[in-house]
Each structure stands twice: as C-alpha cells, then as structure tokens.
Amino acid sequence: MTATQKISVKELNQLIQTLEGPVIVDVRRKKAFDESDKMIATAEWRDPDQAANWADELPKDAAVVVYCVHGHDVSQGAAAALRQAGVDALFLEGGIEDFVKAGGKTVAK
C-alpha cells in the first residue's frame, strides 16, 4: 500500500450508509480541532502524531478513514502510519472541508 490511498467524499458518504460503515478518525491537529465546531458523524479525534501508538486500538478487519482539514499531509501521514501497523486505513480526499461542502453529515462537537 502507498501513502496515496484515499477515499473521495462521495465514496465515504456511500460507505457511511452501509451496515458495515467505516471507522472514522478525526486527525486534525489539536488547534484546528479545537477551533472547529463540528466533526464527521461517528468520528473520534486522535492525535495524528501518535497514530502508530493508537493503531492497535483500531479494528484490523474494518475499513478506517482518517481525515484532517484539507486531506493533505496530516491525514496522509496518519493513514500511512496506520497501514504500516496493519490497519486498512484511507485518508479522506479534500478533508472535512470538502466533506462539508458536499453536504456530508457532521455533528456538533
């Protein structure tokens, strides 16, 4: 697997609606997370710099989608660290910004 394994907003919205929806992890930097009033429904925040340390807490038999603000270095790095630890992780292309623009379901924090 490569660091460029991604999922589009459209694909994530479709996957969320299935019975076996993905595990969603918010890996925005703490400051960006704290300054935001929303997150993707069912997501849990985790420190992106510690991804290798919390990888074992994620299921190995389910899809995991990580997202940051724009879908760049932060989420790509976290996804790569998780894949290296054996987790089937993808990063959300365009991050939460594109997810919100496309009408994806978010919840208040």
Task: Quick: pLDDT tens for 11-55.
Answer: 998 888 887 889 999 999 999 999 999 999 999 999 999 999 999
Alpha carbon distance 1, 19 (integer Å): 26
Strands (E), the chain: 6-7, 23-26, 38-40, 44-45, 64-67, 89-92, 106-108
2 pLDDT higher than 50: no
Share of the chain above pLDDT 70, in %: 96
- Fold annotation for 6-108: Oxidized Rhodanese; domain 1 (3.40.250)
Q: Which two tokens stand for residue 67?
A: 């997202």
Share of the chain above pLDDT 90, in %: 83
Task: Quick: pLDDT tens for 58-81.
Answer: 998 888 999 999 999 999 999 999
